[in-house]
Amino acid sequence: MNDSVTLSRPAATRTENFDVLIVGAGISGVGGAYHLTHQRPGTKFVVLEAQETFGGTWWTHKYPGIRSDSDLHTFGYRFKPWRGVPIATADEIRAYMGEVIAENDLARHIRYGHTISSAKWSSRDNLWTIEATRADTSETCRFTANFLWMCQGYYRHSEGYTPHWDGMETYKGRIVHPQNWPEDLDYSDKKVLVIGSGATAATVVPAMAGKCEHVTMLQRSPTYFRSGRNAIELAEQLRELHIEEAWIHEIVRKKILHDQALFAKRTFEEPEQVRQELLGAVRALLPPDYDVDTHFTPNYRPWRQRLAFVPDGDLFAGIRSGAASVVTGEIERFTEKGVLLKSGEELAADLIVTATGFNLCVLGDIAFEVDGRPVKFSDTVTYRGTMFTGMPNMVWVFGYFRASWTLRADLVADFVCRLLKHMTEKGVRKVEVALRPEDKDMKLLPWIDEENFNPGYMLRGMDLLPKRGDKPEWAHTQDYWNEKDWFPAIDLDDAAFVYGK
């Protein structure tokens, strides 16, 4: 592949050439860099990251208590043992990623403060031309790469989603979205209202409880929670036996995945039983007269949305102590003092935290063109939720929602490395996926099955996302337990892969 560096004047039009360009230095991008150096040594690649450092999600979010909601044995990479407690803070996750970068000499491949604005594919050159703006100099930098590895996540990092409510402008207090948490925010003597009841609210509320005058979680409708000790007994036992960390990592991952598969199966086969178990566990953590029916009994099937884990039951401890409370109701409008609910109740607050979710951002707000034509991503069909018809030499890492994201980042990385090897062996520089004759009449559906999984940000942005077919190879199945076997077995000479010189 082309190894030259072209320098031209002025500096803004300097073009650097790479075999592979990775977008984003979050868990997926750093993982991609690791896999490339190990599985395709000698590949000339660069990672471009808009922010000032690595971490992605774990750098962007700085709200009180920020932590994972899945365990780090499976959210961690398969190649690097996780030694800490399963539910980890953002700092712990970043420290782990930092070790991956240092231990594998990846820093020299990563350029921070580079926001990519456009990516143009040329079939004549079999190259992507990528333009990025440098944060430090505002200079526009140009890169070319034969292969583009999109690890930009799925939401806009610059700003979270805040719905508009009538009267917001009249509210005299401060409104903060957890994604843009001000460093200097002092809430010690404040009455805080957190709007939302997802994983973010379930983290912020216990973290603020006891540290502010009072914190209220206001939810339109309840969410399922699981609670337990922030520890994995099997890992503790194996450590007591002085088993090597690499073994512990492997065994504990297998155990967690096994248990999750059983649980997921049960949510489909006996949803009512699972629902009662989940509600019973919550009830046990709350005072006997607590209104669990109103505040903690969701109206959807367990696991249709991500099931949030509450380590050590801290959310419920906050409620028990009286430092936190939950109100379930719909907002009519904001007032000067807080919010007025449709029920007529007014909730006064000095600070309102809108834990109301993300803005879906497909392809990192990058303007894509293929041979001079702007790409409308929603016109494409996805191959296994990772490649897209009409978009040559590009993959997107879109992880799992029910299982840890990184499980898929590792699987997709293996796939990319195998595909790159296959291309080298075939002597080709272009690959794209295309519907086969047998797919001609395949029904095209939205990216995700709403019946199966329906978080708000996905529903709000579904029309921006690629289509899926009704066959597993033309869908993101969200099913790790099958994909772990399917991905390594993908026949790269299947007619779905179209190669070009």
Residues near ligand FAD (CB under 6 A): 23-29, 48-51, 56-57, 61, 68-70, 75, 114-116, 151-153, 157, 200, 364-366, 397, 399, 404-405
Bridge pairing between strands 140-150 and 127-134: antiparallel
Cβ proximity to ligand FAD: between 73 and 429 the closer is 73
Q: Distance between CA atoms of 494 and 227, rounded to whole angstroms?
A: 45
Give the nearest distance from C-beta 100 to ligand FAD in angstroms: 12
Cβ proximity to ligand FAD: between 399 and 466 the closer is 399
Cβ proximity to ligand FAD: between 27 and 256 the closer is 27
Q: Distance between CA atoms of 162 and 183, rounded to whole angstroms?
A: 20
Cβ proximity to ligand FAD: between 87 and 286 the closer is 87
> 392, 395, 396: which is closest to 428 by C-alpha?
392
Cβ proximity to ligand FAD: between 52 and 270 the closer is 52
Cβ proximity to ligand FAD: between 89 and 378 the closer is 89
Give the nearest distance from C-beta 112 to ligand FAD in angstroms: 9
Give the nearest distance from C-beta 137 to ligand FAD in angstroms: 16
Which long-range contacts does 98-104 make (Cβ < 8 Å, 24+ apart)? 98/54, 100/30, 100/31, 100/34, 101/30, 101/54, 104/33, 104/34, 104/37, 104/38
Q: Distance between CA atoms of 105 and 402, rounded to whole angstroms?
A: 32
Residue 444 in contact with residue 381, Cβ under 8 Å? yes
**If you search the block for the tokens 């440098």, which residue do you land on?**
134
Cβ proximity to ligand FAD: between 71 and 439 the closer is 71
**If you search the block for the tokens 């007032």, which residue do you land on?**
335
Residue 202 in contact with residue 178, Cβ under 8 Å? no
Cα angle vertex 365, ends 364, 368, to 5°? 95
C-alpha pair distances (Å), 336 with each of 40, 330, 346, 448:
59, 18, 11, 40
Residue 27 in contact with residue 409, Cβ under 8 Å? yes
What DSSP element (H or E) covers 423? helix 405-426
Give the nearest distance from C-beta 272 to ligand FAD in angstroms: 27
DSSP state of 12: G
Give the nearest distance from C-beta 304 to ligand FAD in angstroms: 17
Gyration radius (Cα) of the chain, Å: 24
Cβ proximity to ligand FAD: between 54 and 171 the closer is 54
Residue 246 in contact with residue 81, Cβ under 8 Å? yes
Residue 191 in contact with residue 168, Cβ under 8 Å? no
Give the nearest distance from C-beta 343 to ligand FAD in angstroms: 30
Give the nearest distance from C-beta 143 to ligand FAD in angstroms: 11
Give the nearest distance from C-beta 299 to ligand FAD in angstroms: 24
Contacts of 137 (CB under 8 A, 6+ apart): none
The dihedral through the CA atoms of 37, 39, 42, 48 has a sign that is negative
Cβ proximity to ligand FAD: between 86 and 392 the closer is 86
Cβ proximity to ligand FAD: between 46 and 151 the closer is 151
Cβ proximity to ligand FAD: between 37 and 424 the closer is 37
Give the nearest distance from C-beta 135 to ligand FAD in angstroms: 10
Q: How far apart are the first and last CA of the chain?
A: 12
Residue 339 in contact with residue 347, Cβ under 8 Å? yes
Give the nearest distance from C-beta 172 to ligand FAD in angstroms: 29
- Joined tokens for residue 491: 């026949």
Cβ proximity to ligand FAD: between 56 and 81 the closer is 56
Give the nearest distance from C-beta 88 to ligand FAD in angstroms: 8
Give the nearest distance from C-beta 432 to ligand FAD in angstroms: 22
Residue 411 in contact with residue 484, Cβ under 8 Å? yes
